Structure 1
């Protein structure tokens, strides 16, 4: 009787231990499976946000092109760079074409990524009597100072004095590029965003 009781207790212990091991293995498997599932959900959510953001940017670009293409670029005076040099729209009138980069967002990443592209455009355009400058109409007034000390841009960057403040009504847009004729007529419009630098490379090839 005692042997049977010991055998029963032993088998019960083994069964409980085996059950615990199975439960532990299943718990670990479920835990890592849940982590994997959560990771996939996060990835899908990030992709959705990118698609949604791209859609918003594309819609903004279409709206901006529709609004400003074949209209006159605003005339401006007394826009100063960090060296205190003054620029006006007369510079546009004295050149064959002008390329104006307008900063309106708060990120700055778009322009940082595209500086080599625009420096190349500036170098090639200078030989064709093109004028090029960037206007900072964003709330980051230190951008002009930043790029002045970095010496990363070949063309002048100036702070807006309020003339271009209405352009900030496009919440998903960081930078707008205008190609302007000597009579101030806007010939081309481009929107930059950090996740699609190829979009800007293609546009830059179309300018020159």
Structure 2
């Protein structure tokens, strides 16, 4: 069995020796509203696409990465499908509608309507939320990258990975940013970038 495992991992064994950068905090996905691993992924996506706002799905896979060196293997564990980074134009109203739908899928009163368990991840935005409110009315206020209230009719340039992050019924002018997710992470760690995380604030 040990031989079979060694044979299976041989093609990627070098990834564990290739340093991508370092982290001063544990990167994990163990929390429902936001998580450090996704904060890093979102910062990399936004950096690759030249946006202030980015979305990804609320995934739960990926072993925690302890403080210290981060390898190429770690980056592939963060997002092993390495989907392309894409951009889309969303209105403020669409952003709120999309997030309301995701909050309902996570916190529906009817447990049979709950799906996923983790809220969609994002950066460049902040939301004041009352989870006990009825569907479609949980977000009390939504704030953009500059800290001002999102304008419902204004268009916002957004980066994302996968249709789970930004479903196809939302937005216009979808385009490829010309980089995959792992390449974006590698570039971001190479610049020693910092995260600008978005947050859901329970009010």
Higher strand proportion (structure 1 or 2): 2
* The two structures share one fold, judged by TM-score above 0.5: no
Q: Who wins on radius of gyration, i.e. which is larger?
A: 1
TM category, shorter: under 0.3
Query: Which fold has the larger relative contact order, with Cα–Cα distance below 8 Å and residues 6 or more apart in sequence?
Result: 2
Query: TM-score scaled by structure 2?
Result: 0.24
Higher helix proportion (structure 1 or 2): 1
